[in-house]
A and B are shown apart, each in its own frame.
Chain A
Amino acid sequence: MSEKKGHPKEIRADIAAVQRLEYWNIAWTISIVAAMGLAMGGSQAMKTAWVEDTLGLVPPIAILVALRYEARASNRRYHYGFDRVNGLGFLIAAVALAAVGLVLLKNAVGTLITADHVTIGSTRIWGHDVWLGWFMLAAQAYATIPPLIIGRKELPLARRLRDKLVHTDALMNKANWQTGVAGFLGVAGLGLGFWWADSAAAALISLSIILDGWKALRVATSELVDGIPCELGESRLSDDANAVARALRKAFPKSRVLMRETGRYMRAEVVGASPPKGFDVMTFEIPGLEDRWRLDSVAFRP
């Protein structure tokens, strides 16, 4: 937990699983970036999808860095530990994601307005001339597989760990197949002679990047401005936090209960009450709180 070294023992196995998964995520994403980079040629949709895939490296790296920092004990400079490192990393990534998405959207819309025609040539392999579009289609098809598998594996871990970063990455991975399909249809449409197909696909992919950035920005800013502990992917108070607030209000009826989220942990503050003698947050009875490890501390402000 935040002021202690390491992660709570209840979640250590899941933390290790997330770390393993994110290393796989990085390896697969690099393979996709390489395949798309080799095949992209002059296709706007391929270039845009390549940028999105490259940016897809940011969340897993942020997750691994954040987990490493989160496990560190508090020190003289950081009394509350490093629970919020993932929020900080994610904020930077979210701004970059949204900005790149806007630039790519501008390029795609510009190409649509000027009606630029995209050339995809051929290469000679073992005496046969092969249209480079086939390599693009194969790369796009390949690029849909790893996000599909990793996104599905991330979701249950994110729920158990209450990890917004992993959850957002899972949603981004889940949305990536749409990107893959859009890019695929763009190149396929270009091969059928539809000049607009490639740029239209690039515009769609750019919108997906902007949406990813916007989602990540909401998650990051909510935590940085001391927002309430929310359900993953929702803006309502989480059931866990609700249980804590209910129990504290019941124990201290004339007080006001404030709650905030730091990383995966919740902190509560009871305003207008003093802590009873011998009050221990670990033994304080909270009906309905399934994951006790989530409650980091309860502070009192008389």
Chain B
Amino acid sequence: MRHAPAAGWTSPLDLGPRSAFPSGMGASSRAFLICLGLAALLPACGAYPRDIDGTSERVRAAGIVRVGLIAGPATARDRALIGAYLGRVGRAAGAAPRIVTGGAEPLLAGLEADRLDLVLGEIAADSPWVSDVAVIEPLAERVIERRRIGLSPIARNGENRWIMLLEREARDMKAGG
């Protein structure tokens, strides 16, 4: 015996434009439901969020994290801190750090040009680089002439999965985890 469809709904076989939604539902309600549906599906896409330039996948595939260490007093003073952080990042990413040392400008330019995956060093909170790269919360901080300078991991903008990993490791280390 065939049953009539419930009031307000069209048959799923009806290929009309409103076939999947109640007939009284407006375009806005449908759009809203589509949004919610999409949001629910996003975690099913595997790695979400993804990196725009695929840093996480590339690091894992190559087994190497290309690190630029900004030369300066902090590099010597906080050597243990930097070593511990790079160790954590390497374990989390499944890769070994390959470190180059240099001045802040060439290293940050190298980061932007995808020659490095991570730069570590002191950067001021109001540095002009702050909008061009993703400066992660500092591992250590000092104030010079009322200017906050953090020893921070720095990543390329838009590498959101990779940035999340760097943030997580920085937080865990600060929390003593």
Contacts and interface: CB of A to CB of B under 8 A. Distances in A.
A278 B156 CA distance: 83
B50 A192 contact: yes
A188 interface: yes
Nearest to A129: B168
Interface string A223-245: 00000000000000000000000
A187 B28 CA distance: 19
B31 A144 contact: yes
Contacts of A120: 49, 160
Given A129-B168, A131-B164, A181 B39 contact: no
A119 B158 contact: yes
A292 to B, nearest CB: 34
Contact of B32 (A117, A177, A193): A177
A122 B155 CA distance: 14
A148 B25 CA distance: 12
Interface string B34-56: 11101100100100111111100
Contacts of B136: 121
B38 A188 contact: yes
B171 interface: yes
Nearest to B43: A134
Contact of A180 (B35, B52, B159, B167): B35
B134 interface: yes
A116 interface: yes
B137 to A, nearest CB: 9
A118 interface: yes
Interface in B109-166: 134, 136, 155-160, 163-164
A148 B26 CA distance: 10
Interface in A92-147: 116-122, 124, 129, 131, 133, 137, 140-141, 144-145
Interface centre among A121, A144, A174, A192 (most CB of B within 10 A): A121
A181 B155 CA distance: 30
A255 to B, nearest CB: 47
B44 to A, nearest CB: 12
B29 interface: yes
Contacts of B42: 137, 188, 191-192
Interface residues of A, number: 32
A191 B134 contact: no
Contact of B160 (A140, A180, A190): A190
Contacts of B29: 148
Interface in A166-181: 174, 177-178, 180-181
Contacts of A194: 52
Nearest to B38: A188
Contacts of A181: 31, 34-35
A131 B45 CA distance: 15
A117 B158 contact: yes
B163 A117 contact: no
B116 to A, nearest CB: 15
B48 A191 contact: yes
Given A117-B52, A191-B50, A122 B32 contact: no
A177 B163 contact: no
Contact of A118 (B28, B31, B157): B157
Contacts of B48: 131, 191-192
Nearest to B169: A129
Given A117-B158, A122-B168, A190 B49 contact: yes
Interface in A184-198: 184-185, 188, 190-195
A122 B159 CA distance: 12
B51 A193 contact: yes
Given A141-B32, A141-B36, A144-B35, A129 B171 contact: yes
A191 B160 contact: yes
B28 A144 contact: yes
A133 B160 contact: yes
Given A119-B163, A122-B163, A192-B50, 13 more contacts: A121-B136, A122-B168, A129-B171, A131-B49, A141-B32, A144-B32, A177-B27, A177-B31, A178-B31, A184-B38, A185-B38, A190-B52, A192-B48
10 contacts: A117-B52, A137-B42, A141-B39, A148-B28, A148-B32, A181-B35, A190-B52, A190-B160, A192-B42, A195-B52
Interface of B: 26-29, 31-32, 34-36, 38-39, 42, 45, 48-54, 134, 136, 155-160, 163-164, 167-168, 171
